[in-house]
Amino acid sequence: MLLIHCPYCEEDRPELEFHGAGEAHMERPKNMGDISPEDFEKFFFIRENRKGLVFERWRHLHGCGRFFNAARHSVSDKFICTYKAGEPKPELSDEQIAAVLPPAKGTPANEPIVSKGDAK
Amino acid sequence: MANLELPLQSRMFANDGIAIAPIGSLERVSLRADDSAFASIEKVLGLTLPKKPKTSVTKDDRTALWIGPDEWLILGQDNASLMQAFGKLRSQKFSAVDVSHRNCAIQISGENAVMVLNTGCPQDLSLKAFPVGACSRTVYAKAEIILLRTGENEFHLECWRSFSDYVWKFLLDSATSL
Amino acid sequence: MSAPNRIAGHGRLSPSNAISFTFDGKRLDALEGDTLASALLANGIQLMGRSFKYHRPRGILAAGSEEPNALMDIARDNGRRQPNVRAGVQEVFDGMMAESQNRYPSLAFDVGAVNDGLGRFLPAGFYYKTFMWPRKAWDKLYEPIIRNAAGLGKTPVEADPDKYANRFSHTDILIVGAGAAGLQAALTAAKSGLQVVLADENPELGGSLLSDGDVRIGGKAGGDWARNVEAELRGMDNVTILTRTTAFGYYAQNMIALVERVSDHLANPDSGLVRERLWQIRAGRVIMATGAIERHLVFADNDRPGIMLASAGREFLHKYGVTPGQNIGVYTACDSAYNAAFDLKQAGVSIVAILDCRPNVDSELLSRANDLGIKVLTSHAVISTSGRLRVKSMQVRSIDGGKSEKYEIDCLLMSGGWTPSVHLFSQSRGKLAFDEDKGRFVPDIYMEDCASVGSCNGTDDMAAALAEAKEKTNEAIKLLGGKTSRAKALSVENACSMDGFLIGSADGAGPDDFVKAFVDFQNDVTAKDIRLAVREGFRSIEHVKRYTTTGMATDQGKMSNMHGLAIAAEMLGKDIPEVGLTTFRAPYTPVTFGTMVNHSRGELFDVTRRTPMHEGAVAKGAVFEDVGNWKRAWYFPQGGEDMHAAVNRECATTRKMAGMFDASTLGKIEVVGPDAVKFMNMMYTNPWDKLGVGRLRYGIMCREDGFIYDDGVVARMDKNRFHVTTTTGGAPRVLNMMEDYLQTEFPDWKVWLTSVSEQWAVIAVNGPKARAIIEPLVEGIDMSGDAFPHMSVREGKICGVPTRLMRMSFTGETGFEINVPANYGQAVWDAIWERGAPMGMGVYGTEAMHVMRAEKGYIIVGQDTDGTVTPHDAGLSWAIGKNKKDFVGIGGLRRPDLVAKGRRQLVGLRTRDGNIVLEEGAQIVENADVPIPIPMVGFVTSSYWSQCLGHSIALALVENGFERLGETVFIPMEDRTIAAEIVSPVFYDAKGGRVNG
Amino acid sequence: MRKFSGFAVVREAMRAHKGWAEQWNTPEPRKQYDVIIVGAGGHGLATAYYLAKEFGITNVAVLEKGWLGGGNTGRNTTIIRSNYLYDESAGIYNHALKLWEGLSQELNYNVMFSQRGVMMLAHNVHDVQVSKRHVHANRLNGVDNEWLTPQQVKDYCPPINIGKSVRYPIVGAALQRRGGVARHDAVAWGYARAAADMGVHIIQNCEVKGINRGSDGAVTGVETTRGTINAKKVGVVAAGHTSVLMEMAGVQMPLESFPLQALVSEPVKPILPCVVMSSSVHAYISQSDKGELVIGAGTDQYASYSQTGSMHILTDTLEAICEVFPIFSRMKMMRSWGGIVDVTPDRSPILAKTPVSGLFVNCGWGTGGFKATPGSGNVFAHTIAKDEPHKINAGFTLERFRNGRLIDEAAAAAVAH
């Protein structure tokens, strides 16, 4: 069970209070009324699904009820930070990213690795 | 006038270090408000809304619980005075909805109260993390609850009325398996 | 004392506390505090189980939870029967029933053992190469045989009567393992003022200190020191000690799952006592002091009962005063086995010889052996053993060759060295490093906030382990802001050396082509199986594991992993780290489902939501149906009616007179604020600007993809206030979707959402007499048809309580939905009933509601739509605001396939034979007289007998349905084909006049 | 290839099994292949096998980042059934089921396909409607699936609790008798062995780092940790990692990758004679040949490539298992693990050509791809060989997310795969 920092409650809270809500920063097109099928597909279906650093949405459903965003590494599952809905993607420092990278290949040998380059 | 029937009416439980009892009728208002409406709301309510997460403010028989950044649960005596107070407001930048009957409340008290709650609530309920007066919406097993710590060993738990039977039984199952 | 192997004056048990238990039906004596393993050994019983594949006779191998052989069925009674219990873990209680497993007809004579004789024909993976012909024989013959031979214990046959519990907990420091290092860590942490939890899987704290007669800590005997520390810790408020508690899972962000075995060791547990408790502890810092597990040695016939780990022998002596045999051989590659031999010898047991495969052995050990009169042969190996149900002898030979010599023994203690218990560390996603010099993996890179101390970290020397425990704990304390300790680490004397190891096949075992040298005992995986796997091209250790099943038994490779890896590496000519290690996964030791489930069973399995009028419905004899978490009154049978009759009557009464219905489960959301209309326009396909205050409108909500997501009637209570209703099941997801748009797409809009689903009890009164029934109960509302027309809402009072009274209908009759504050629901319901019943009113349930709405062609989202149906498909194009520039779904609805021809559209169906009621879900075809596969053009979504129409009715989604009114289609059933005509979905009162009555 | 048989085992036994050859080759990669398959899971290996066997294309390399069969093939709960609702789904899964029925013989490798029957429980009126819709559609599509009453459920699966006292009593079930389970590893190994025997190169520990395209945009090969390997056709069959690989060719996918967890109990004597699934209470369970109860849990709620998940996902599943089987409460979870499943918006796979010439993709099987392995490999081989889809996979395009012609099993059924 993850521990997630809610930027509105300003503390770490157990995953059971949250609802994952998919990739972040997918802004709804302004021209929905006459959107092309291509643009609709891009907005509604296509996902980056990044192996590495991901920006995703959560809702503190059973807490303050707010949607917010998180930067997380999808291999180590570690959070770098969370931030309020509507705020831009944060600039992440190298140190912040390094802190959440999974370790380079070691033993057990069958775990995935991602270098810092991949993560960015 | 039609009779009021509360959920959990006439239930009661007590054991070593734990007492669980339903709390009677209350007036409850779910308040959502814009910053610009705070001052006027606080005036008609006669209390300052808590602005800090996980805190509550009690004045006389009214308590305001911080639920979210623009959301409060206001508890008061069951006399419709809260909704009347909101009725006096001119501002349109808020929403006050009567939820008196949506929720019901249970008091959990005794030295084992935290343990009983921690069977189903994953939050840290130590006094350090959750001091007297702290409140939070959270979960208790499969039910959503609002928890308000009213004393070192005393909690006020709110849940939606149709979840109350489940919450009650889960509390009892917990209280009998310490 | 009757027990032949109990040695007086040894062990920690009191001889006066005698108890008894049964083993395979035979009554045996034990002492309180015995494990099943020690009690059986005390009684001279070595044979305790049968292996998985060859059904080889097996005895105890280890004294703890890593035991692969001695797995038993432990029972109090029929329901309280637990298969696969490790004999070394189960504490004997008075009256306990233990039974051996995987044998027939008896443990000593097991027909399954025929597999052992056939062993050479059953190498690793043989089943992949055989049993393929004839094809049918797999299901009927081979597989049943394999299945019956496999499996260990038996599932209980009764539901589990025991209780289990859960506790979420938070602590600053969690220490796992209370051996010397763990106790030192706990002492240090305890004095920091921080919250500390110390957990150990054993009943007593002290770990190996309790099985060590020599070691002294701080000048005290190790066991006494442990006892003193425990007493000190128990006196401190900030320390929680959990014994019999295994940390089995290390999850993200320092969440550790532990299982506490609360009452399995008690003879008569209090009825209120739980059996096991799950702890989910979130720790600021985790200190792992999980110790190390001794390995066996891989040599021919190393599995006979009586052959066990040296540490187990020592533990039985010191903890329980039991010797595993009277004539004991010792075979080792590690110093620690000497101490077992010394202690047993000093207790008066004959030690036949110590065979050490190493050429050079510490001179102190040799001289001590010499002093005790124990023969030591270095550079020697055990090359085989004999004895069917118990080891009788061993053949010993110098590693350099030469003649072998036979020794008569009844027990052989062995040690291949120690494997650090890195399971939890590895579960925490930490990376291991291989320590070439000592043949082991140790923690290297940490991914969580934790530390390893003592022998799980490769720190074998006890003094060093204590120092390390102190240092790492101080680091943790510092990070957490507690008070670090400056006390000196305690002195350690006479600690036993853990030097020396052997991984892989033992030297001098000779060619093992036709012998069985076991790597994984339970799964009967031998060294040659692993070699075969490599020979067949299985190069990854994961492949070797899966092909041979080594490491896949109930001990999950605790004993076998390193040996298997070493043998594979040797075959591959690679270094061990290159071959890799299989992943450690939770749980560390198996955990009962009951513990995982704990409170959430029976009626606590899931929430049961009941409406405010539930008890009233019960009193009226309602049969309920599950709708999500809700219990809804389905129908109200009277005087022996079946469902069909009851529903017919309920419909008829409602249509002729009136009926009342509990609609409380509908979702309700109050949408309030200056931008409420704007918001409604965005969320629903309908236009809302022109809906007057006090009016109702049926609304449809789509997702962006244009498919119907939910529907419901919306009331405009005020300029800036809407009372929105949703489907029962849709309430949470609708609110979530609304909040999502509001918070993330339109955060500046001044509108707020509040769920009031449970604030309002909803009583629907429908039928020609509806108005007459409720009118006298209502205050402050003009109930006349002109003042209060269909599809409008008024606020006032009913029975003296506030109401939002809606004039609407889901039946096609004049209807009212009376919203009252929930706690008044039952009282208002009763009052209406009291008035209505004498006027001929009835009560109806969800089934009658379904029938009547279908007669009117009203859809139920989720039944007549399924997530692939647009408002157009459902015949609801009128509900889409034609002039709206935007709403959720507008873009999706424009996609090519959603506007193409051939979409399935909602229509009515009338069966040619009106007495036939179609089956919901039945498929529709144009022509049934074609061979399978028959192209399907639609399916029946709703179907009922309509009592008021005198024939069956159905709704269906049919390709191009709107254009096909009047056409005949077919519904092929298993036994017949039913013809039906496509008709309008409105079967009843097509003009719709009745709602205005 | 030396034929596997009982006689061969007996003969080998006489010489200590020293005569068995490697089951598949371990070649150095060539510079050029006709087809490269990325991903040596069941689907990828099956694709290579059918390319060689049915289309005579043997100059094929299957590239695998780790060890073959190490992804979802070796991590799933092995349920096989074909009683899907839509024609497209029924088509491909039933094609697979027919191939399963002869697979051990075809591959000369016992994949232990056990047609124990797959029972999908219904707990309420809505479940019944959905189940019957399936039963009827399946019958007309020639897929076996039948409706059982609670008593018939109990007769078919004695340990199940059909009592009325449970929270969600069982009101019936849909049973596909031809469904069942198979030994997952053996499927990968069997295909690998048979493909290698026809000349296919199976190259493990070879991670694809890039997909090369020529000036005309068409695929020219791949960059790997073992160098550049050329091919005019590349098929990506990488399950959870599909998005990562397709990105290398500049193709963005409608996929999200989630952790999917599963667990096994300690082995016990035969108790559960069939596969039981329940979408209402979220559980599926079978018993392996070894005697372990094999239990599938749900996906976690966040995207991840970590192959681990949160414990409460397992807890929720076990609650459901003990609800349906109260006698299993004292069974013990022995091992839990996670895989990475790639999920499409309509929960149906993509088996198709891509906008990049020469690049093919087989993905999006979500939580239920194992059952399709032979069928998927078979029609994907056709798609690659002919550069056009087989009629069975014609509907599983990428374009459907543009034109809206979805195959929405999830929406239509609300049934777990």
CATH, residue A96: 3.30.2270.10
Locate C371 and state its tokens: 């002093």
In chain A, whose CA is at the least distance from the CA of C898?
A: A37
Q: Which residue of A has its CA nearest to B124?
A: A13
Interface test with D, best of C158, C536, C596, C919 (most D CBs within 10 A): C596
Mean pLDDT, rounded, for C545-549: 96
Residue range C515-531: mean pLDDT, rounded: 94
Strand-pairing partners, residue C945, are C952
Same-domain status, D213 and D229: yes
pTM, rounded to two decimals: 0.97
Find the CATH number of the domain harbouring C987: 2.40.30.110
Q: State the Cα–Cα distance between residues C362 and C373, nearest whole angstrom.
A: 17
Judgement on whether residues B38 and B20 belong to the same structural domain of the protein: no
Closest Cβ–Cβ partner in C158, C249, C583 for D327: C158
Residues D30 and D104 in one domain: yes
Contact C922 D136 (CB under 8 A): yes
Flag if C891 and A3 touch (Cβ within 8 Å): no
pLDDT for residue C284: 98
Domain for residue D15, yes or no? Answer: no
CB contact (8 A) between residue D310 and residue C251: yes
CA angle C40, C372, C320 (to 5 degrees): 25
Instruction: Give the number of domains in chain A.
Output: 1
- Range(s) of the domain holding residue B109: 13-24+102-175
Final residue of a structural domain among B66, B98, B130: B98
Share of chain B above pLDDT 70, in %: 100
Q: Give pLDDT, residue C1.
A: 46
Collapse the DSSP code of C924 into the 3-class scheme (helix H, G, I; strand E, B; otherwise coil) and give the result.
strand
Q: Indicate whether B93 and B118 sit together in one domain.
A: no
Cβ of D268 within 8 Å of Cβ of C154? The answer is yes
Listed residues D322, D343, D364: the one ending a domain: D343
- The enclosing domain of D82 has a CATH number of 3.50.50.60
Q: Distances from the Cα of C995 to the Cαs of C771, C876, D79, in angstroms? A: 11, 19, 52
Closest to C428 in 3D by CA, of D417, B17, A78: A78
What is the ipTM, given to two decimal places?
Answer: 0.96
Asked if C408 and C433 sit in the same domain, the reply is: no
Contact list, A7 vs chain B (CB under 8 Å): none
A61 and C736 in contact by Cβ < 8 A?
Answer: yes
Q: Are residues B108 and B160 in the same domain?
A: yes
CB D247 within 8 A of CB D240: no
User: What contacts C126, CB < 8 A, 6 or more positions away?
Assistant: D9
Same domain for D174 and D230, yes or no, is no
Residues spanned by the domain of A64: 3-119
The CATH number assigned to the domain holding C472 equals 3.50.50.60
- On whether residue C10 sits in a domain, the answer given is no
Beta carbons of B136 and A63 less than 8 Å apart? yes
CATH number for the domain harbouring residue B168: 3.30.1360.120
Query: Which residues 254-293 of chain D have a CB within 8 Å of chain C?
Result: 265-271, 281, 287, 289-291
Q: In this structure, are C279 and C168 located in the same domain?
A: yes
Are D247 and D262 within one domain?
A: no
For residue A14, give the chain C residue with the closest CA: C282
- Total number of domains constituting chain B: 2
3-state secondary structure of B39: helix
- Residues D280 and D169 grouped into a single domain: yes
DSSP class of C934: P
Phi, psi values for residue C419, rounded to 5°: -105, 120
Res D413: pLDDT: 54
Distance CA A93, CA D384 (A): 44
Return the residue matching tokens 């009764």. C158
Share of chain C above pLDDT 90, in %: 93
User: Chains C and D: how many Cβ contacts under 8 Å?
Assistant: 316
Same domain, C376 and C504: yes
- Residue C277 three-state SS: strand
C373 and C313, same domain (yes or no): yes
**What's the whole-number mean pLDDT along residues C922-944?**
96
Residues of C with CB under 8 A from a CB of A: 168, 251-253, 255, 280, 282, 426, 429-434, 441, 444-445, 447, 540, 542, 577, 580-584, 704-705, 736, 739-740, 743-745, 747, 884-886, 890-892, 894-896
C67 shares its domain with C196: no
- Find the mean pLDDT for residues C677-689: 98
**Amino acid present at C537:** G
Cβ separation D241–A19 shorter than 8 A: no
- Residues C182, C289: contact at Cβ < 8 Å? yes
Asked if D255 lies within 8 A of A19 by C-beta distance, the reply is no
At residue A111, does pLDDT exceed 50?
no
D150 and D287 in a single domain? The answer is yes
Q: What is the predicted pLDDT for the residue at D1?
A: 76
Instruction: Flag whether D14 is in a domain.
Output: no
D47 in a structural domain: yes
- Note whether residue C610 is domain-resident: no
The tens place of each residue's pLDDT in chain D, 417 residues long, gives: 789 999 999 999 988 898 999 999 889 999 999 999 999 999 999 999 999 999 999 999 999 999 999 999 999 999 999 999 999 999 999 999 999 999 999 999 999 999 999 999 999 999 999 999 999 999 999 999 999 999 999 999 999 999 988 899 999 999 999 999 999 999 999 999 999 999 999 999 999 999 999 999 999 999 999 999 999 999 999 999 999 999 999 999 999 999 999 999 999 999 999 999 998 888 899 999 999 999 999 899 999 999 899 999 999 999 999 999 999 999 999 999 999 999 999 999 999 999 999 999 999 999 999 999 999 999 999 999 999 999 999 999 999 999 999 999 877 654 333
- Domains of chain D: total: 2
Residue at B6 is within a domain: no
Residue A112 predicted with pLDDT over 60: no
Residues facing residue C793 across a β-bridge: C806
Q: Are residues C368 and C506 in the same domain?
A: yes
Cα angle B110, B114, B118 (rounded to 5 degrees) comes to: 145
What is the per-residue DSSP string for B90-120? ---SEEEEE-TTTEEEEEEESTTHHHHHTTT
* Residue scoring higher pLDDT (C376 or A107): C376
pLDDT tens readout for residues C304-330: 999 999 999 999 999 999 999 999 999
Same domain, B91 and B39: yes
**DSSP structural state of residue C975:** S
Hey, what amino acid is at C615? E
Is D153 in contact with D339 (CB distance < 8 Å)?
no
What is the model's pLDDT at position C580? 82
> Is B54 touching A (CB cutoff 8 A)?
yes
Q: Which residue has the tokens 């049943």?
A: C144
Task: Say if residue D245 is in the same domain as residue D313.
Answer: no
Residues C561-607 pLDDT 10s? 999 999 999 999 999 988 888 889 999 999 999 999 999 999 999 99
Instruction: Single out the residue in D310, D325, D343 at which a domain terminates.
Output: D343
Are D53 and D104 in a shared domain? yes
On whether residue B123 sits in a domain, the answer given is yes
Taking CA C107 as the corner, what is the angle to CA C106 and CA C112, rounded to the nearest 5 degrees?
Answer: 80
CB contact under 8 A, B100 and C604: no
**At which of B98, B127, B145 does a domain end?**
B98
Looking at residue C508, its pLDDT comes to: 63
Q: Which chains border A (3 or more CB–CB pairs < 8 Å)? A: B, C, D
Q: Residue D414 has what pLDDT?
A: 44
| Cross-chain Cβ contact B68/A66 below 8 Å | yes
Confidence of residue A105 (pLDDT cuts 50, 70, 90): low
Residues 6+ apart with CB under 8 A from C784: none
pLDDT of residue A120: 30
* Residue D50, pLDDT score: 98
pLDDT for C278: 98
Q: How much is the pLDDT for D102?
A: 96
Domain hosting residue C25, numbered range = 18-117
Instruction: Tell me, letter by letter, the H, E, C secondary structure of A20-36.
Output: EEEECCCCCCCCHHHCC
CATH value at residue D285: 3.30.9.10
Is residue B71 less than 8 Å (CB to CB) from chain A? yes
Is residue B20 domain-resident? yes
State the CATH number of the domain containing residue B65: 3.30.70.1520
Residues D201 and D335 in one domain: no
Chain A: residues touching C (Cβ < 8 Å): 1-3, 14, 19, 21, 27-29, 32-35, 37, 40, 43-44, 57, 59, 61, 65-67, 76-78, 85-86, 102-103, 106-111
Same structural domain, C342 and C411: yes
Question: In terms of domains, do B146 and B81 share one?
Answer: no
Do D236 and D242 meet the contact criterion of CB atoms below 8 Å apart? yes
Q: Number of H helices and number of E strands within chain A?
A: 3, 6
* Phi then psi dihedrals of residue D396, to 5 deg: -90, 55
C252–A77: do the CB atoms touch at under 8 Å? yes
Among the candidates D291, D314, D343, a domain finishes at D343
Q: What is the reported pLDDT for C512?
A: 62
- Tens-digit pLDDT profile for residues C372-415: 999 999 999 999 999 999 999 999 999 988 899 999 999 999 99
Other chains touching D, judged by 3 or more CB pairs under 8 Å: A, C
The dihedral over CA atoms of C180, C186, C191, C196, expressed in degrees to the nearest 10, equals -170
- The verdict on C968 and C996 lying in the same domain is yes
Question: Which chain A residue lies closest to D339 (C-alpha atoms)?
Answer: A111
Burial of residue C795 (number of CB atoms within 10 Å: 0-12, 13-18, 19+): middle
Domain of D129, in residue numbers? 118-180+257-343
**Whether the bond into C105 is cis, omega within 30 of 0:** yes
The verdict on residue D1 lying in a domain is no
User: Rounded to 5 degrees, what angle do the CA atoms C805, C806, C812 make?
Assistant: 140
C-beta atoms of B53 and A8 within 8 A: yes
Interface residue A60 vs chain D (CB under 8 A): no
Structure tokens, B85: 């107070």
Q: Among C280, C898, C934, whose Cβ lies nearest the Cβ of D140?
A: C934
- Asked if A49 lies within 8 A of D257 by C-beta distance, the reply is yes
Of how many residues is chain D composed? 417
* Strand (E) or helix (H) holding C593: helix C593-597
Q: Is the pLDDT of residue A59 over 70?
A: yes
Residue B5 lies in a domain: no
pLDDT digits (tens, 9 = 90+) for C190-226: 999 999 999 999 999 999 999 998 999 999 999 999 9
When pLDDT is cut at 50, 70 and 90, the band that residue C2 belongs to is: low
Same domain, B108 and B57: no
Could you give the number of structural domains in chain C?
4
Average pLDDT over residues A111-120: 31
Contact (CB, 8 A) for C389 and C108:
yes
Same domain, B19 and B34: no
d(CA C125, CA C131): 12
Closest CA to D140 of C861, A80, C925, A84: C925
Q: Which of A62, A64, A66 is closest, CB to CB, to B139?
A: A62
